[in-house]
Structure 1
Amino acid sequence: MSEQKILIISHGHPDHSKGGAEVAAYNLFKEYERRGLDTVFLARTDQPSHGGSAFSTINSEREILFHTHMSDFFLFQSGNKKHVWQDFRALLQRYQPTVVHLHHYIHMGLELIREVKNTLPEARIVLTLHEYLAICANNGQMVKPGKQMKLCYKSSPTDCARCFPERSAADFFLREKYIKSIFDLVDVFVSPSHFLIDRYKAWGIPEEKMVMIENGQPEVEAPRPRPLADGEVRGRFAFFGQINPFKGVDVMLEAFKLLPEDIKEKVHLDIHGANLEGQTEEFQEKIHDLLEELDDLVTLHGPYESHEIGRLMEQADWVIIPSVWWENSPMVIQESYNHGRPLIGSDLGGVGEKISKNKGGLTYKGRTSSSLRSVLMEAVSCYGAWQDCRNAIAQPINMIECSKLHLECY
């Protein structure tokens, strides 16, 4: 194992981009460093570099920023081919990794995978899949374009062309062939959920190439349950994540709006989330209208740093994940369990896979505010519901065990 040289590639550095995939990739890198493994972390950035160089360092010489971009989001092709066949190739030749583990290809280009195979044909290529980008051209969500955001269960060139009438079925047929030709070069695909594995198997990835490894968590001391005042119930709810149409914040707010008045007096919702200002004017208006109607029942706190998660969860009884698409394995699930906080989540995709009464939470019919309303009432009104869910929480996999499972793939 000591002879291995590992290159981890991410589409962002957590210092600049707070997504779960970026954090998962970086945590793995830091654990490998802790174990004394020869590891380099390469993270794409949209920030300009000094002197126009493709690379710069951050924090240490082992953390490298890749100043590049994609020009074609349909075929995931690099916007600067020279960055691939000259700069990235030179980096591979310099470090000579025996394993290249990509946690994404978005914003960099699928060509990176082929360049690894061409430059270092003996290197093992591992790709962690975080959503359905290869399958679905609608931001990898497997949700049909339009206001209703109808769920998609399986892709086909004909159906995809209906979603994007500016492209032909032939375009989507060739897109699939091209992406699969690159994926054929990958030795192992890692997924944090069985649900995503099933989707990619149905799409054509061989089952024997896929392995499920949950996102590892740092070891923390879980905060004690929130102290309750006399007569108070476990009615403090929290949301953590991006505020966009796919995360279901509007469904969550509508559910709180539907609560009976006597229940509203017992509950509060804290929203810790970013990027509302980056959404469409229509969506922003909808969220602000709901917030205004709910008045002091809801507090919008804005973005947070990853190191603040423990302090913020300490103030919550329940964490809500109201996603309206087929989430894979949002990091907040494991973060909540790691901090001893039960979950209430949609029954869609990987969220439904990881949340249930015997797994530390409650689920409701996804995309349905009335169903969430019922579960919220159960969480507040049923004596022992919170304690039962908390007792059922299994300690999530830590970074030590997570890194061991990944090393077995290498």
Structure 2
Amino acid sequence: MKILKVIHGYPMRYNAGSEVYSQTLCHALAKRHEVHVFTREENSFAPDYQLRMERDADDPRVTVHVVNNPRLKDRYRAVEIDRRFAEVLDVVSPDVVHVGHLNHLSTSLLREASLREIPIVFTLHDYWLMCPRGQFMQMFPKDPNNLWAVCEGQEDRKCAERCYARYFSGALEELDIDTAYWTNWVARRMRHVREMAELVDVFIAPARYLHDRFRKEFGLPESKLVYLDYGFARARMAGRCRVASEPFTFGYIGTHIPAKGIQDLIRAFSLLRGEVLLRIWGRPKGQDTCALKCIAASVPTDTMGRIEWLPEYKNQEIVRDVFDRCDAIVVPSVWVENSPLVIHEAQQARVPVVTANAGGMAEYVCSPPLE
């Protein structure tokens, strides 16, 4: 079978959860199928929408088709990306298209697969189809002290006021004009996304929480929506051997952004006493990483000296580089994640997980699963 995987980023260029999961899935599928990937890069020195081909550096059986999108990544539609995708479809002639994410690509590329009568499977990794920003987090909440407040549900005007206000002119006399424009923009985006969702044959929700929310709030029909947990290469997580003679160590894996709650983790860790460490793995993110280190330095304890900032790791080496070096993994996200990859990986390596009692995070930690 020929499989074309669509994902908005691919390791090591992009190394967050859905990207990492997509790569491991492609590696497993390549043992029995011909696997292609359609993804993006952001090369400001190359023309927009340039398409090139490369091999997965970790598994050359996987062919990666990379479209360049350095300037228009905030759009949800891009006709030229649709055209590049159509070119790949015509060359590869896949038996199925499996979508992991369309952000930074183009929602309407689904139409190209549908026009060719190619079945479309769509794995839901977050809320991006029903939340333009994907996480139901507000950038401009009513309470300015409640940074990154949780949003209870999608509403066109609320999206404009609480998230897209960053595009407002800032002039008070133009507030109504800006609000009306972005309210209309969000409404058009949501109508289009719903039209594209109708072209999908099957949606996979890797958490029951996500399944129920997309059914109730977005209206996906039961006939198209199934709950199916992620699949894993279990052998890759075997053989954990904790490094001896180290203090009890908490570990964090992920990006350095507020929605991940890493700032809360640092403050909570500062309350601990005794011989204990916190190791933070991840790619530095400019000013955000600097700000987090400032938070660690500002708490009234010796916290800074007990936190180690470690570089990004190759996912194939996660046991040796991460799980051998910590006693518990903390997932402190303040947005309601659905089925975090790190929780599954830690549990497979027999590493305890500390996380919030919410959404898919609690679903895969609490026993029995929350209803």
Q: With structure 2 as the length reference, what TM-score do the two structures score?
A: 0.82
| Equivalent position of 1:196 in the other structure | 210
Residue number among 109, 115, 118 corresponding to 1:123 in the alignment: 118
Amino acid at match of 1:160: C
| Equivalent position of 1:273 in the other structure | 282
Shift in Å, 1:278: 4.8
Q: Where in structure 2 are the equivalents of 1:134-153 lying within 5 Å?
A: 134-137=129-132, 139-146=133-140, 148=146, 149-153=148-152
- Output the CA distance in 2 between the equivalents of 1:64 and 1:224: 31
Tell me, which stretches of 5 or more residues in structure 2 are unaligned?
Answer: 166-177
- Checking the alignment, whether the CA contact within 8 Å between 2:49 and 2:80 is kept in structure 1 is no
Shift in Å, 1:310: 0.3
SS in 2 for 1:344: strand
| Equivalent position of 2:128 in the other structure | 133
Determine whether 1:258 maps to 2:271: yes
SS in 2 for 1:329: coil
| Equivalent position of 1:113 in the other structure | 110
Q: Where in structure 2 are the equivalents of 1:1-400 lying within 5 Å?
A: 4-35=1-32, 37-47=33-43, 53-59=50-56, 60=60, 62-69=62-69, 76-78=76-78, 81-85=79-83, 87-118=84-115, 120=116, 122-137=117-132, 139-146=133-140, 148=146, 149-163=148-162, 164-165=164-165, 166-168=178-180, 169-201=183-215, 202-218=217-233, 219-220=235-236, 222-223=238-239, 226=242, 235-259=248-272, 264-279=273-288, 285-290=294-299, 293-311=302-320, 312-356=322-366
Amino acid at match of 2:80: K
Shift in Å, 1:340: 0.8
- Output the CA distance in 2 between the equivalents of 1:94 and 1:273: 37
- Checking the alignment, whether the CA contact within 8 Å between 2:206 and 2:338 is kept in structure 1 is yes
Q: How many residues matched?
A: 343
Amino acid at match of 1:294: T
Task: Give the fraction of aligned pairs with identical amino acids, expressed as a percent.
Answer: 26
Q: Deviations over 1:101-133 (max 9, x none)?
A: 111111111121111112x1x210111121112
Shift in Å, 1:353: 1.4
- Output the CA distance in 2 between the equivalents of 1:240 and 1:109: 29
Measured at CA, do residues 306 and 205 of structure 1 come closer, stay the same or move farther in structure 2, by a change above 3 Å?
same
> Which one is further off, 287-296 or 270-279?
287-296
SS in 1 for 2:5: strand
Measured at CA, do residues 291 and 215 of structure 1 come closer, stay the same or move farther in structure 2, by a change above 3 Å?
farther
Amino acid at match of 1:200: F
Shift in Å, 1:152: 1.4
Measured at CA, do residues 172 and 88 of structure 1 come closer, stay the same or move farther in structure 2, by a change above 3 Å?
closer
Q: Deviations over 1:242-281 (max 9, x none)?
A: 111111111111112223xxxx113221111223425287
- Output the CA distance in 2 between the equivalents of 1:43 and 1:282: 31
Cα-Cα RMSD: 2.9
- Checking the alignment, whether the CA contact within 8 Å between 2:4 and 2:98 is kept in structure 1 is yes
Shift in Å, 1:62: 4.4
Shift in Å, 1:294: 0.7
- Output the CA distance in 2 between the equivalents of 1:71 and 1:185: 28
- Output the CA distance in 2 between the equivalents of 1:291 and 1:84: 53
Amino acid at match of 1:222: A
Q: Deviations over 1:272-312 (max 9, x none)?
A: 12234252875564355349851322222232221331012
- Checking the alignment, whether the CA contact within 8 Å between 1:319 and 1:344 is kept in structure 2 is yes
Amino acid at match of 1:157: D
Tell me, which stretches of 5 or more residues in structure 1 are unaligned?
Answer: 364-410
- Checking the alignment, whether the CA contact within 8 Å between 1:41 and 1:64 is kept in structure 2 is yes
SS in 2 for 1:269: strand
| Equivalent position of 2:168 in the other structure | none
| Equivalent position of 1:377 in the other structure | none
Amino acid at match of 2:198: D
- Checking the alignment, whether the CA contact within 8 Å between 1:43 and 1:66 is kept in structure 2 is yes
SS in 2 for 1:242: coil
Shift in Å, 1:214: 2.1
Measured at CA, do residues 221 and 72 of structure 1 come closer, stay the same or move farther in structure 2, by a change above 3 Å?
closer
Shift in Å, 1:357: 5.5
